[in-house]
Chain A
C-alpha cells in the first residue's frame, strides 16, 4: 500500500459516506423495494401474483385489527417453542448419554443409522395418525427435526472433550461419571451444544411453517388460507412476520449464548 509523504495512508477514493456499510445496506434495501414496486406499477406483473410493497401496510393493519395476526403468531410460537424445547432437551440428553457411554453408543448405532436419514416432514403422516390435525402434531414434527440436530451436535461436542481434562478431574479424585459430567464434560461441550441449539432454532422455524401448511392453526396455515383466496398481500405480510420473529428469537438466543460463553477469548 502506498503511503503519503506525511506518513499517513491516503484517504480512500470517492465519497466516504457512501462506503459506510449501513448506508450501503439501506441503499440496497430501498433499491430492492423500488424494483419490487416498479414491477407491478409498470404492469410487468399483476398485483395478485406479486403484491407491491405499498399495499402491505394496509393488509398488515387489517390482519392486526381483526386480531388474527397476534392469534396466529401465538399459535405458531406455541408449536415452535414446545417442539424446540422438547427436541433440544431430548436430543442433548441422548447426545450426552451416548457420548459418555460406549455401550449406549453401540446399542443405538444401527437404530440411529436407520432413523436419522428420514426427513422430519416424512413424519407428517404419523403425526396426523397419532395426534390428528392438532398443535401436538405440529410440535411433534418440529421436535423431530430439532432432535437430530441437537443429538449430533451434542454427541460430537461430548466426544470432542479434551481427554486430558477428564484425566485432570480423575487425578483430583473425581471418579464418578456424574461428577465428571457436571464438572468437565458439560461445561467443555457447551459451545458445541449451543451451536446445535442455534441451528435448531432455524430448522424448527421451517418445520413450523411446513407443519401448519397441513392445517394446524398458525402462521403457515393462515398463509395457505390467504393463498387459496388469492390474497397474496396477506401471504407476504406473514412471510415478513416469519422473518421478523426468527430474527428476534435468534437475537435473544445470541444474547443468552454470549452470556453463557463470556469466558471465551
Chain B
C-alpha cells in the first residue's frame, strides 16, 4: 500500500538551531504511530512540519491524503485543548469545519456526530469553562474529527490530564481509531502510553534529532495495560532513550 505520509531528507532549522536533520519517515494509511523522545528533540516540531505550520529547511514532506473541498487532509490536537472560550461547545467543534465547503446544516450535523462520537452529545450548548479537563480534550478531538481528516496529528494530547482520565481517553482514542480508520501520529513523552496505543513506536534522539530506533508493537488488540511483552518493549525503548541521552543528545 502507498504510504499516506512520506518524508524524505527532511531538515528543520528554527532560530539557527537544526532541530531535525536527514530525517526519513513513512506512515501507512490507517497506521497508529507513536513518537517518543526526550524533550526538545523535535517531536512537536515534526507534527507542525506535517501540518505545514512551519517550513522545512530541506527535504520533502508528501501527504497523500484525498483532496476534497469538504475535508482536510489532517487535523491537530494539542496538549491543551485550545477551545475558544467565547464559543459554545458545539460551535467550537464547528470551528475547523467552517473553512470547508459545507453548508451550515451539514456542518452542524457533522459537529453533532463528532460530539456524540466522543460521548459529549448532550454538552453542545455549554461553554468550555463549564467542562472538566478531560471533557475539554474530548471536544478538541471532536473538533479535529469534524473536518474528517485523513490524518490526526496529536501533540501530547493527554499529557495534562490526571491518570484516570488519561486512561479512559486512551481507550476511547483506540476505539475511535478502530471505528474511523484514521491514520494517527501521536507524540508523547510517556513510553507506556506509546506502547499501549500504537502499532509502531518511533524513538527520536540526538542533536540534531533523528530516528534512534523503531519498534513494532505486536500485541493484539484489545490490549492489556500490564501485559509482560508490552512492559518488556517499554523497558527496551527506555534503555535506548537513556543511551541517546548519555551519547550527548540533550534533554
Partner of B95, one of A167, A172, A188, A264: A172
Q: Which of B84-92, B112-120, B208-216 contacts A (4 or more CB under 8 A)?
A: B84-92
Pair A172/B82 contact, Cβ less than 8 Å: no
Q: How far is the CA of A183 from the CA of B86 in the complex (A)?
A: 11
The A contact surface, by secondary structure, is: helix
Pair A164/B86 contact, Cβ less than 8 Å: no
Pair B53/A170 contact, Cβ less than 8 Å: yes
- The reply to whether the CB of A215 lies closer than 8 angstroms to some CB of chain B is no
Pair A168/B78 contact, Cβ less than 8 Å: yes
CB neighbours (8 Å) of A173 from chain B are: 72, 96, 99
Pair B75/A263 contact, Cβ less than 8 Å: no
Encode contact with A along B190-203: 1 for CB under 8 Å, 0 otherwise.
00000000000000
- The reply to whether the CB of B76 lies closer than 8 angstroms to some CB of chain A is yes
Q: Which of B142-167 touch A at CB < 8 Å?
A: 147
Partner of A187, one of B76, B84, B127, B130: B84
Q: How far is the CA of A207 from the CA of B227 in the complex (A)?
A: 75
Looking across the interface, which residue of chain B has its beta carbon closest to that of A173? B99
Q: How far is the CA of A179 from the CA of B84 in the complex (A)?
A: 15
Looking across the interface, which residue of chain B has its beta carbon closest to that of A164? B82
Q: Which of B76-127 touch A at CB < 8 Å?
A: 76, 78, 80, 82, 84-88, 95-96, 98-99, 127
Looking across the interface, which residue of chain A has its beta carbon closest to that of B74? A171
- The reply to whether the CB of A126 lies closer than 8 angstroms to some CB of chain B is no
- The reply to whether the CB of B129 lies closer than 8 angstroms to some CB of chain A is yes
CB neighbours (8 Å) of B98 from chain A are: 183
Known: A165-B84, A188-B86, A263-B87. A172 touches B75 (CB 8 A): yes
CB neighbours (8 Å) of B96 from chain A are: 172-173
What is the count of residue pairs linking A and B with beta-carbon distances less than 8 angstroms?
43
Pair B82/A168 contact, Cβ less than 8 Å: yes
Q: Which of A24-78 touch B at CB < 8 Å?
A: none
CB neighbours (8 Å) of A165 from chain B are: 82, 84
Q: How far is the CA of A264 from the CA of B84 in the complex (A)?
A: 11
CB neighbours (8 Å) of B84 from chain A are: 165, 184, 187-188
CB neighbours (8 Å) of A214 from chain B are: none
29 pairs, CB–CB < 8 Å, chain A vs chain B: A164-B78, A164-B80, A164-B82, A165-B82, A168-B78, A168-B82, A170-B53, A172-B72, A172-B75, A172-B95, A172-B96, A172-B99, A172-B147, A173-B72, A173-B96, A173-B99, A174-B99, A179-B99, A183-B98, A184-B84, A187-B84, A187-B86, A188-B84, A188-B86, A190-B86, A263-B85, A263-B88, A265-B129, A265-B130
Residues of chain A touching chain B, judged by Cβ–Cβ distance below 8 Å, are: 164-165, 167-168, 170-174, 179, 183-184, 187-188, 190, 263-265
Known contacts A172-B96, A263-B85, A263-B127; 8 further A-B pairs (Cβ under 8 A): A165-B84, A168-B78, A171-B75, A172-B75, A172-B95, A187-B87, A263-B87, A263-B88
